[in-house]
Amino acid sequence: MILDCVVFVLGSMLSGGIFLVFVNLLGNSMSVDTIGNMLTSILNAQRVGKQRVAVPYSRFSEEVLNFLKTRGVIGSVRMQESPRSKLVVTLAYDSHNSPRIAGLKRLSKPGRKLYVKHDEIPFTYHNFGFMVLSSSKGIIDEKTARKDKLGGELICAIW
């Protein structure tokens, strides 16, 4: 951890070539929670009333967004080609113009993956919201996982 800080400070002071040598020697130990960042971007954009938000592209992000589209919490998803591809998410609002996503909680994180068996999946409170799981059958919700007796990684809870 301290060595990462030293490399960051040296990298900002030194030329790019020397900094790249340090990074190549040490490796990039920083992990980025792309799904957490994506979900937070969507939630924040809905809270301020935006119609669309762009998030960095990854296949897993696209799968999660397509699942959320089938559940009706977002409007649509399209890929925008550019040097760094993005997913443009059209947000969904109800008839009173309030966001479809009231809140969310990221359950499994890069530093601590949370895997559960089908009988260990937590229940939602009075069917308020749903949990998103990554299983061998793809991205599913907790009810489908219990019905099909599938376990997997708990991605997030959305209400």
Give the per-residue pLDDT at 11.
Answer: 53
Geometric angle at alpha carbon 89, from 101 and 37, rounded to 5°: 70
Give the per-residue pLDDT at 149.
Answer: 96
Tell me whether residue 75 is in a domain.
yes
Tell me whether residue 48 is in a domain.
yes
Chain length of the chain: 159
Tell me whether residue 96 is in a domain.
yes
Give the per-residue pLDDT at 127.
Answer: 76
Q: Please indicate, yes or no, whether residues 66 and 123 belong to a single structural domain of this protein.
A: no
Adjacent-strand bridge partners of 116: 152
Q: Please indicate, yes or no, whether residues 116 and 59 belong to a single structural domain of this protein.
A: no
Domain count, the chain: 2
Query: Which range marks the domain in which residue 118 is found?
Result: 103-159
Q: What CATH number did the domain enclosing 38 receive? A: 3.30.1370.30
Check if the beta carbon of residue 73 is closer than 8 Å to that of residue 101: yes
Residue at a domain's end among 69, 85, 100: 100
| pLDDT digit string (tens) for the chain, length 159 residues | 554 544 455 455 545 555 554 445 445 545 689 999 999 999 999 999 999 999 999 999 999 999 999 999 999 999 999 899 999 999 999 999 999 999 999 999 999 999 999 999 998 877 789 999 999 999 999 999 999 999 999 999 999
